[in-house]
Amino acid sequence: MKELIELSNLPKHIAVIMDGNGRWAQNQGAARIFGHRNAIKAVREVTEGSVEIGVSYLTLYAFSTENWGRPEYEVRALMELLVQSIGNELPTMMKNNVKLSTIGDIASLPAGCQKTLKQACETTENNTGLNLILALGYSGKWDILQATKRMAQEAKDGLLNPADITEHTINSYLATEERPPVDLMLRTGGDHRISNFLLWQLAYSELYFYEDLYWPDFRREHLFEAILSYQKRERRFGKTGDQIKENSAK
């Protein structure tokens, strides 16, 4: 399947809602945490698949603002798993030239997590391959709220002129900063919703939903399948199909 992908027309930024760990485990009579543990292989697969074909940005929704409302033991297990897997995966990230960063309310995470994340981001800082962005304690509304507050404060302090605010200004205050908008958003688990993931940044993304696939079963072929679907679509951005064809013929 990989051979069919047109490398000149790759989505620059792919974002993934990794959903269905709990149901995957419960379907086999196991505890939800078992699903989270088995999700790590899928994270490795989507990352290595992206590295393999040369995707520039991959954003993974790992823990949402709303996920804080889950039972305490599940939250704790997720945080422990995060620390463990970042440590385990660091050598592979270095080997694959992956640059790790995070978006979200990182200060809300346990101190140990913050420390591990900071170290991993610093270690991979000079890597020049795939930009891997973990969304942690993240939600789209949180992002818009924090950006709005900072902009309002800077306007009040005379550092930002409201008349000069453009889309670019807003981009730069959002947690995603200068990263490009999302071209392709994937969701496993069978639900068709955004679940408060990137909101502004998804404005014109193509969406791809896996109907019968829980996240722990995700393999790089599933990524390639979504990219092939993306490449068959006509992205019109409000224009007519004829205009798009004319431009691509030039």
CB of 190 to Mg ion, least distance (A): 10
Confirm or reject binding of residue 21 to ligand IPE (CB under 6 A): yes
Which CB sits closer to Mg ion, 64 or 131? 64
Q: How many CA atoms lie within 13 Å of 58's alpha carbon, on the beta-carbon side? A: 25
Of 23 and 219, the one with the shorter C-beta distance to ligand IPE is 23
Site string for ligand IPE, 211-240 (x = CB under 6 A): ----x-------------------------
Active site residue 19: yes
Stretch that binds ligand IPE, among 2-10, 13-21, 96-104, 228-236 (CB under 6 A): 13-21
Pairing of strands 57-64, 206-209: unpaired
* DSSP 8-state class, residue 182: P
- Residue of 11, 16, 19, 47 that binds Mg ion (CB under 5 A): 19
The dihedral through the CA atoms of 169, 171, 173, 179 has a sign that is: negative
212 carries an active-site annotation: no
Contact flag: residue 181 with ligand IPE (CB under 6 A): no
Q: Are 131 and 56 in contact (CB under 8 A)?
A: yes
Under rule CB under 5 A, residue 183 binds Mg ion: no
User: Does residue 195 touch ligand IPE according to CB under 6 A?
Assistant: yes
Q: Which of 131, 129, 168 is nearest to 147 (CA)?
A: 168
What's the burial of 80, exposed, middle or buried (CB within 10 Å: 0-12/13-18/19+)?
middle
Residues carrying an active site annotation: 19, 67
